[in-house]
Chain A
C-alpha cells in the first residue's frame, strides 16, 4: 500500500468527524432520532408525520455551506466525474441507500455506534463495493 502523505489531513478529519458524531449524538439524545441522511431525505418524498423535523435537519445541512463559506472564504469540492458518472452514481446512491435502509451516516456512524449487526453488514458491503468500484474504474478500465 502506498500512502499519499501529502493528501493526508488527520487533524481536520478527526475534528470534522467529531462534529459529525456530535450532530448524531445531539439528535439522538434530545429527539431520539437516527441522523441518517438517506432516511431523512427519503421520507420527505412521501408526506408523513415527523417530516417537519426531518425538513429542519435537511435545512440545517443546506445552510451549513453558506455559513462555512462566509467564515472560511472558500469550500473545497473537486469533482472529476463527468455527467454520465454523476447520473449513474446519483441513481445508485439514491436507490441503493433506500433499499439498504441507510448510508454512511445512518449505518456507518449511528449504526456502528449502536453496535448494530445490520449496520456492520451494510457498512462492510458499501465500503467493499466502493473499494471494488474505484479499483475497476481507475485501474482496470483506466477511466
Chain B
C-alpha cells in the first residue's frame, strides 16, 4: 500500500510538472527573468499546488498521524541557520543558471533530453559531494 501510494504520488507529481510548464527550462527562466519579458505562469503553479496541498498538510500536521494511523514524518528542525540559507542560495543560483530544479531535471532526463542527462549527472555528483561533506562535518 505504501509503495503504491508513493508510485502514484510520483506519477501525479511528474504529470503536474509536465502540464504546468515547470519541466521546461525556457519557461522557468522566463519566470525568473523579472527584468526581461516576464512570464508569470510559475507563480500560478505554486498557487495551484499550495491551494490543493494546504488543507491536507495542515490537517496531518495537527493530528500528527496519517489516515492509516501511522506517525507522520514531519521535519523536526525549527532553527533558521546558515546551512538553510546558504544551501538555498546556492540551489537558487544553480536553478537560475540552467533553469532546472531537481524534479523537472529528473523528468526531462527520463525523456532522454541530452542536456537534462548532463545536468542530472552533475546534480547527483553535487548531492554525493554533500553527503561526503556532511559526514565530515558531523564526524
Contacts and interface: CB of A to CB of B under 8 A. Distances in A.
A37 B49 CA distance: 15
B126 A92 contact: yes
Interface string B68-84: 10111111011110011
Contacts of B139: none
Contacts of A93: 91, 94-95, 98, 100-102, 105, 119, 123, 126
Interface of A: 1-4, 7-10, 12-35, 37-38, 41-42, 45-46, 52-54, 56-69, 75-81, 83, 85-105, 107-118, 121-123, 125-135, 137-139
Contacts of B97: 81, 85, 88-89, 92, 133, 137
Given A29-B60, A90-B126, A109-B49, A130 B96 contact: yes
A129 B17 contact: no
Tier of interface size on chain B:
35 or more
Contacts of B134: 98
Nearest to A117: B80
A106 B92 CA distance: 14
Main secondary structure of the interface of A (DSSP, over half): helix
Interface string B32-59: 1111111111101111111111101111
B126 A130 contact: no
A109 B50 contact: yes
B86 A99 contact: yes
Contacts of A75: 18, 23, 111
7 contacts: A7-B30, A22-B12, A64-B10, A99-B130, A105-B102, A113-B50, A114-B58
Contacts of A130: 32, 92-93, 95-96
